[in-house]
Amino acid sequence: MVLYIFYIMIFALLLGSFYNVVGLRIPKGMSIVAPRSHCTSCKQTLTGIDLIPVLSYVFSKGRCRYCQKSVSPIYPLFELLTAVLFVLAPLFMGWTYELVIAWTLISLLIIIVITDIHYMLIPNKILLFFFGLFVIERVFIPYQSLFDHGLGLIVGFAIPFLVAFVSKGGMGGGDIKLFAVLGFVLGWELVVLTFFLSSLIGMIIALIGMFFGKIKKGVPFPFGPSIAIAALISYFAGETLLKWYFSLLF
């Protein structure tokens, strides 16, 4: 078992490095294959020793080996975060086929958080690609009936769309489409929970950001991270939370 966890961690670290590339290049319309990874400051092409997930950043003390300019800690952060989530997923889901869905969902959320943080954008290409994967996976690994998954998609789209309509742009189109994809994966009950939790988490982040002067009142900030956190909570612990909530009511 320990060996399996080790292999998953190494594989996920490599995936996390790749997701950084996807998240940074796709919104700019760039290829994820070429040009090769390079320093954004001196443009020097990076070699294998510069691209070891997390370790290269640690050993170089967060600086480019060639020009000594600081490298964003976001790179190793998302590599490590991908590895941690991939390793934790079997503890929640068990070694079942649903684990494939869990890892796919984690992958989507990692990438959209990267794109949203950097560009305030959740690209359609990424959402369409993962939606196609989820459709195929849910045909073979259904959580509910396909009708229920379809209903989840409709509910996931409708709630944020209505919020955006009433608030006249209070939510971005990428966020709305992301909720639709999440609705298909999670089902309508868990996507409603995701919407509620993401609103709560977003409000907390906004208050903390305003307190430290990082977020200004009335100025948009990335909502993708709040959605991602809420989606993971709902996916891994949503049913428990709903049972607890309804037990308080009845």
Amino acid in the structure at residue 36: R
Question: What's the pLDDT score for residue 246?
Answer: 80
Question: What's the pLDDT score for residue 161?
Answer: 94
Cβ(19)–Cβ(74) under 8 Å?
A: no
Tens-digit pLDDT profile for residues 10-56: 999 999 999 999 999 999 999 888 888 887 788 888 888 888 899 99
pLDDT band per the 50, 70, 90 thresholds, residue 215: confident
Q: Where are the domains of the chain?
A: 105-250
Spatial distance between the Cα atoms of 74 and 223, rounded to a whole number of angstroms: 17
Spatial distance between the Cα atoms of 42 and 21, rounded to a whole number of angstroms: 18
Rounded (5°) CA angle 206-80-129: 75
Bridge partners, residue 161, by sequence:
none
Tens-digit pLDDT profile for residues 217-240: 777 889 999 999 999 999 999 989
Question: What's the pLDDT score for residue 179?
Answer: 97
Cβ(115)–Cβ(162) under 8 Å?
A: no
pLDDT band per the 50, 70, 90 thresholds, residue 120: very high
Tens-digit pLDDT profile for residues 138-195: 999 988 888 899 999 999 999 999 998 888 767 888 999 999 999 999 999 999 999 9
Tens-digit pLDDT profile for residues 70-96: 988 999 999 999 999 999 999 988 899
Angle at which helix 173-186 crosses helix 146-166, to 10 degrees, equals 160
| Lowest pLDDT segment from 89-93, 98-102, 241-245 | 241-245
DSSP-assigned letter for residue 232: H
- Residues with Cβ within 8 Å of 201's Cβ and at least 6 positions away in sequence, in order, are 226, 229, 230
Spatial distance between the Cα atoms of 49 and 44, rounded to a whole number of angstroms: 13
Tokens of 220: 């948009």
More confident residue, 167 or 106: 106
Mean pLDDT of 99-108: 97
Cβ(179)–Cβ(194) under 8 Å?
A: yes
Spatial distance between the Cα atoms of 9 and 123, rounded to a whole number of angstroms: 27
Spatial distance between the Cα atoms of 229 and 199, rounded to a whole number of angstroms: 11
CA distances from 160 to 44, 76, 104, 126, 179 (A): 43, 32, 23, 19, 7
